[in-house]
Amino acid sequence: MKAAAAIACSNVALAKYWGKRDERLNLPYMGSLSITMAGLTTMARFEPRTGTRSDRVVMNGAEAEPREGKRIVDFLDLVRAEGGIHGALNVAIDTNFPVAAGIASSASTFAALAVGATAACELSLTDVQLSVLARRGSGSAARSIFGGFVEWLAGGAEDGSDSYAVQIAPPEHWALGVVVAVTDAGRKRVGSREGMAQAVRQSPFFPSWLETHWADLDTIRQGILERDLGAVGAAAEHNCLKMHAVSMAAIPGLLYWAPATVAVLHRVRELRETGVEAYFTIDAGPQVKVICAMGQRATVADAIAAVPGVQRVLLSEPGPGARLLEAA
Ligand code: PMV
């Protein structure tokens, strides 16, 4: 074991992962596609811990809550098992945006943990292996291993060995702007894990979600390759609204939106009517992510920040994949 540090960005899914075919291994029913978001990062630092067999996990300066801490330690156990390594770690995890509120902090967290913990355990993994590993922590983390525009291939193998992400285009492929509207920075009530399980089991619309998802994914992938914002944006909005409709129709119904979430959706559509090409998407929380041409990001951000109920906006763009830092 040695000291190591890694950093990873969050990501925003344009074609969503929403439904697991295997809950233990985080294997999805569907492929998904995202943009890795520059500047919205999690840093994870590791140091060997002597004189004890248990890890210590500190998140944003405070001892991790038992449930969160266990999730991290379970993940470290996977890494140790992979390398046949024993030894406890001190782990410090710092995220620079609201955590567990639907901005995919689990994506940046587990991508940073995968890269950092394997280095701390002196394991050498390929990016694909890192993506498989990160997926075990949180599905969407499989995508944050890579930068730019990233597709997570659903795969079909029972052991999950073919369920990993690949980069379909690097960050510089397309100058897109991303504006995140924070409408409620508090913790979400139903996490994505429980939310998707509920949608799979309890929503009468789940089969149609699945059936129609692949066409959205193809349109979004093609649109990204052709830098066609209209095609990507329309398909991403459609995919997002379907994911939420499926969840609302579960029993009990899931409602991730706050009043200001809806207000932002209307504002985005009004912007389009005035010629500003902007499109929304929402993950398992009340925040809205808006994509637009980079040249219009400031205009979009100003318009969104002025919507009543929006607490603040975060600015992003396609960013880099997870990487090691000089160990502190
Ligand atoms: O990685 P998880 O288990 O937090 O699930 C993420 C689910 C969504 O953010 C709603 C969609 C996605 O593809 O990221």
User: Per residue in 6-16, pLDDT tens?
Assistant: 999 999 999 99
Q: Are strands 27-28 and 20-22 parallel, antiparallel or unpaired?
A: antiparallel
User: Per residue in 39-81, pLDDT tens?
Assistant: 999 999 999 999 999 999 999 999 999 999 999 999 999 999 9
At 326 the pLDDT is 79
At 12 the pLDDT is 98
At 93 the pLDDT is 97
At 105 the pLDDT is 87
User: Per residue in 266-280, pLDDT tens?
Assistant: 999 999 999 999 999
In the chain, % of residues over pLDDT 90: 92
At 28 the pLDDT is 98
User: Per residue in 111-140, pLDDT tens?
Assistant: 999 999 999 999 999 999 999 999 999 999
pLDDT (average), residues 11-28: 97
Q: How far apart are alpha carbons 88 and 325 in whole angstroms?
A: 21
Q: How far apart are alpha carbons 160 and 131 in whole angstroms?
A: 11
Counting ligand 1 atoms within 8 A of each CB, the residue from 95, 140, 257 with the most, and so the one to mutate, is 140
Q: Are strands 4-15 and 56-59 parallel, antiparallel or unpaired?
A: unpaired
Task: Pick the residue whose CA is nearest to atom 8 on ligand 1.
Answer: 283
Q: How far apart are the CA of 328 and the centre of ligand 1, in A?
A: 30
pLDDT: is 234 or 328 the higher one?
Answer: 234
At 103 the pLDDT is 64
User: Per residue in 147-173, pLDDT tens?
Assistant: 999 999 999 999 999 999 999 999 999
Q: Which residue has the tokens 């609302």?
A: 248
Verify whether ligand 1 is closer than 6 Å to residue 167 (CB atom): no
pLDDT (average), residues 23-47: 98
Verify whether ligand 1 is closer than 6 Å to residue 238 (CB atom): no
User: How many residues would you count in the chain?
Assistant: 328
- Percent helix, strand, coil in the chain, to 5, is 40, 25, 35
Q: How far apart are alpha carbons 200 and 198 in whole angstroms?
A: 6
Q: How far apart are alpha carbons 26 and 143 in whole angstroms?
A: 13
Q: How far apart are the CA of 139 and the centre of ligand 1, in A?
A: 7
At 313 the pLDDT is 95
Verify whether ligand 1 is closer than 6 Å to residue 118 (CB atom): no
At 188 the pLDDT is 62
User: Per residue in 206-233, pLDDT tens?
Assistant: 999 999 999 999 999 999 999 999 999 9
| Ligand 1 atom nearest to 193, measured from its CA | 3
Verify whether ligand 1 is closer than 6 Å to residue 192 (CB atom): yes
pLDDT band of residue 98 (cuts 50, 70, 90) is confident
Mean residue pLDDT of the chain comes to 95
